[in-house]
Amino acid sequence: MQLPLVLIIVASLAAGEYLSPEPASDVALSLLLSLVLAASVAAAAFVIARRTQLRVEQAASEEQLERAIRGGESLQRLHAMFWLTTTAAILYALEWPAVVRDYLAPRSIVLLDELLLLTPALATLLLSWTAFATVARRRLAWPAALRQGILQMRARAAGELAPVLAPALAMALVCDVVRLGCPDLVARGGAWIIYLPAVLILALAFPLLLAVSWKTSPFPAGELRDALHAAATAGGVRLRRIRVWRTRYANAFVCGWGPLRTVYLSQPLLDLLDRGQLLAVFRHETAHLRLGHAATRMLAAVLPLLAFLAARRWLDLLGEIPPAAEVGLYAAAALLTAVYLACGFAAIARRLELDADRWAAQQTPDTAQQLISALDTLAAHSGEDSSRGGWLHPSLDTRVGWLEMYLQAKPRPVSQQSRTVVLVAAVVFLGLIVAPWRTAVSPLPEVSRQAQGEDRSADNGATRSMADSP
């Protein structure tokens, strides 16, 4: 669900920021059709959840139960596509951004227009999550089932939505404050001086956001925690924080910088894996710290922003851009960003996962085999197709095959190719951003100075001649 969330939030905010100056053609019709489409998304979620639940209850064999569960998962994926399509229709076909701009939210109130722009996407998403969770508890009375569904929706929003939405809104807040407080700076194309530090601060503060929105607790003291810290130290990683993540997913991840670097191990993961498997998974996570993958990911994530700022800086040198062309420019930027996130950023993130597997496998003789065993255990527990990967993770089959090739071949150093490519791209874009500014403030060439001096001398001579004439 991460990629659709990122895409729809980017599309919603971009549609409002860079829309056509033309007003909405029919406000009442736009509002009515938007409400109908939003209600249809929530109703579809209820129907899918109810149908899946009935098929699960009527299953007379393990094969039928498996088929019912698989069918429900396929329908939920179709529902996600329906949600994306419906939200795009509300944003672009029904002119929702124009309605917000002209009738609902004056731009003088920070964040109000962004929140209203996101309302169609977020309202339908939260209603759908509530419907799925409520139907799953249909054995309870409807009021109790609805209360439980709302509680699960809130937990899911905190776990999946908040880490994506909060940074986007924080950056939108920065943009609004700069636009209202420093209009001259924006007009000169110098807002990047504030935007880039803001992005860096948000990246540094991301672990604090997770600590607030997720249910976590310190890893309990004992022999296992000592073994985890010893594994990190043996790999050359200084780590202070290991936390248990209270969720229904068996997962592990790492984030943070400096003293905030934290490895999160979910409770289902701790329940599933034995000591050797857990240490292998932990070494994979510490590999991300040892290889600097957090910085690589951050730079890779902001590459579209850097590219956009660079392009805008150089286009500003050509003079004022017509409004229609500017709308097309920003629409193209939003589309290219979506394509990059879906393909380029995903490819970089998946390669980093494989590099972390290879680094972990080099730490002890049995880590590679233990990691393969852990991945097989997780695949059996999830019941998902092990040949299908996620947005930021390769498939379990790919990772197992990678590790098996490592066991059969002579170990090679971990490649840093992805990190190098991202770093070079970031430096190039930063150079393109700064270059026009340096050109604008650089001193005049010596030839120009001499020419100006000659012009001033000629002017003075002409003035004296005029003064001497009768």
* Among the ranges given (248-262, 282-296, 318-332), the one the predictor scored with the smallest mean pLDDT: 318-332
Give dist(CA 56, CA 406) in Å, integer. 42
Q: What is the pLDDT of residue 314?
A: 80
Q: What is the pLDDT of residue 353?
A: 93
Model confidence at 402: pLDDT above 50? yes
139-171 pLDDT tens trace: 667 778 888 888 888 888 888 888 889 888 998
70-106 pLDDT tens trace: 888 889 889 999 999 999 899 888 888 888 888 887 7
262-266, strands of its sheet edge to edge: 216-218, 241-245, 262-266, 252-255
The mean pLDDT value for 337-352 works out to 89
Cα dist. 296→205, 223, 238, 392 in Å? 17, 33, 19, 13
Cα dist. 392→292, 341, 354 in Å? 17, 10, 11
More confident residue, 177 or 451: 177
Q: What is the pLDDT of residue 323?
A: 65
More confident residue, 416 or 344: 344
Model confidence at 233: pLDDT above 90? yes
pTM for the whole structure: 0.75
